[in-house]
Chains A and B, each alone.
Chain A
Amino acid sequence: MQVDWQTFWPRIVEATGETIFMVIATLILGSILGISIGLLLFVTRKGNILENKLVSMLLNLLINFIRPIPFIIFLVAISPLTRTLIGTTIGTWAAVFPMTIAASFGIARVVENNLISIDPGVIEAAKAMGASPFQIIFTVLIPEALGPLILGLTFVTVGLIDFSAMAGTVGGGGLGHVAMTYGYQRFDGSVMIVTVVLLILLVQLAQWLGNTLSRKFLRR
């Protein structure tokens, strides 16, 4: 069967918009959650400013439990919860929810790793100047880790484009959905090529933005 390009192009534009929306919405929500969890992971580590064995252990357990689950399985496994919270398992918001959860834990680890690489001497210097733990988090940890953090988030974003395509195949909309319905179910190679090219372009764009931004903040 031949594709009707007349109706196909508007559909592609719409789908690209949906993909971008899913990725950005997930990135924003996932960053808020992930950065919070990452900071908590870091400050509760042994010897750190808010050392707390219990919190640290529980968070690590949770992350190590969720992270190894392949996203496509996680997506399905969490769908009852998605239906309860979002009201449906179809559409972009229904994709954003599981993506956000999965992304948060990934981002949390990225944040933790970037914070660990901050010179502890700098944190100590702030402490010696009379900074409170709260002040240390917002005036030392975040600004000092920002450059590498943006690179880490860029890495996550590229992963999210991948996630969104997966979510698309199970009813999440976006380019993944288009590729699935036109390319896979109707065996149309040209649609496949268009969506793949678009996905590659999106990844390139995200990487370029991330590199540019991080360069602004990297001082080492």
Chain B
Amino acid sequence: MIEFLKATKSFRTAKREVHAVQDVSLTIEQGDIYGIIGFSGAGKSTLLRLVNLLEKPTAGSVKVQGTDITTLSPKELRKLRRRIGMIFQNFNLFTSRTVAGNVGYPLKLAGTSRQEVQRRVAELLQFVGLSDKANDYPEQLSGGQKQRVGIARALATSPDILICDEATSALDPETTSDILRLLKKVNAEFGITILLITHEMHVIQTICNKVAIMENGKVLENGSVFDTFTNPQHETTQNFIQSVQQDRPSSTLLEKWRSNGGTKLYRIVFKGEIAGAPLLSRITRKHGTDFNIVYGTVRELQEQLYGNLLVSFDGPELAIQQVISELSELTEIKEVQTDAS
């Protein structure tokens, strides 16, 4: 659907050359809700803007539905842009047009008849739940309502792809959830492929099925959200994940545990099916040991269970070793340094 092939974008400023996007190769498939996450300045916006050629790659290429978009004529490019809806952090609504005027604008550009514009606008406003605001001006709307107008406007020409530049970053948590639900609905009902960028892991966790982590213009890692969350490779990724799921107690608590004569702590990560089975109690009982869950979470991620527990074992040393080796065949288990951060 969207393919970045060693896409690179550098900006030449007066002082130096900024490599905003470097050698990025990614494939976004039909039906994906693909999230790109990274800190400010990582190059996310630039990467996103390559998709509709608001920025032209300085090297490499970008393919949309099999076409290398850098080869298109200006006219073909404008036609392609109608197949790619875009929404923005600051909504970018036309202040001089009403809600209906904003939503109908891309249709007017495309030369749609007045009647058809009216019909489609009504339909879209119904979809985003703003039918009663058709004749209001953007300044009269709340942030969440403005973004709904932005979404309706982006969907007006029935695009195949929706790209979102920090669509929820200007919104409060509750409104963010509303907008994310709406985006999910867009994906599910119309089968529109969504490429979004964000700096909030929460957004990725809530709606994305795939994720790429960006830093300094490069993609550090990418894959399914489940795999990335349960088995992050890079420290940046781990930090992002910790921002949404605290998987260890605070260092003061760990310190206390240790100074109170606490035994060794192990982290056990369960994924998928296994998280549903009474593994821990079965295995410890078999070897005549006890276990104590010190800390942990079990959560749902991409409709799979994912458990992350800190456990201590009580019993003869040998038996504990056996428990650990048996568990390591079925789960991930690692000793936790209690004195480290």
Contact = CB atoms under 8 A, between A and B. Distances in A.
B90 A129 contact: no
A119 B109 contact: no
Nearest to B82: A130
B105 A129 contact: yes
A130 B95 contact: no
Interface in A30-88: none
Contacts of B138: 219
Contact of B79 (A130, A131, A146): A130
Interface residues of B, number: 29
Contacts of A124: 54, 88, 92
A126 B82 CA distance: 11
A219 B86 contact: no
Nearest to A219: B95
A136 B204 CA distance: 34
Give the secondary structure class of A's interface: helix
A135 B95 CA distance: 17
Contact of A130 (B81, B90, B94, B153): B81
Mostly helix, strand, loop or mixed at chain B's interface? Answer: mixed
A140 B95 CA distance: 10
B95 A220 contact: yes
A119 B109 CA distance: 20
A130 B95 CA distance: 19
Interface size class of A (residues with CB under 8 A): 20 to 34
A129 B54 contact: no
Contact of B78 (A131, A139, A140, A220): A131
A17 interface: no
A122 B92 contact: yes
A183 B84 CA distance: 69
A207 B213 CA distance: 56
A125 B97 contact: no
Given A122-B93, A135-B109, A143-B96, A129 B139 contact: no
A121 interface: yes
A121 B95 contact: no
Interface string A113-154: 000000101101111111110010001100110110000000
A217 interface: yes
Contacts of A131: 78, 109
Contact of B52 (A128, A135, A139, A143): A128
B137 interface: yes
Contacts of B52: 128
Given A124-B92, A144-B94, 10 more contacts: A121-B90, A124-B54, A126-B105, A126-B109, A127-B81, A129-B82, A129-B157, A130-B80, A135-B109, A219-B96
| For the complex of A and B, 7 pairs with smallest distance between CB atoms | A130-B81, A125-B92, A130-B78, A121-B92, A129-B106, A128-B86, A143-B96
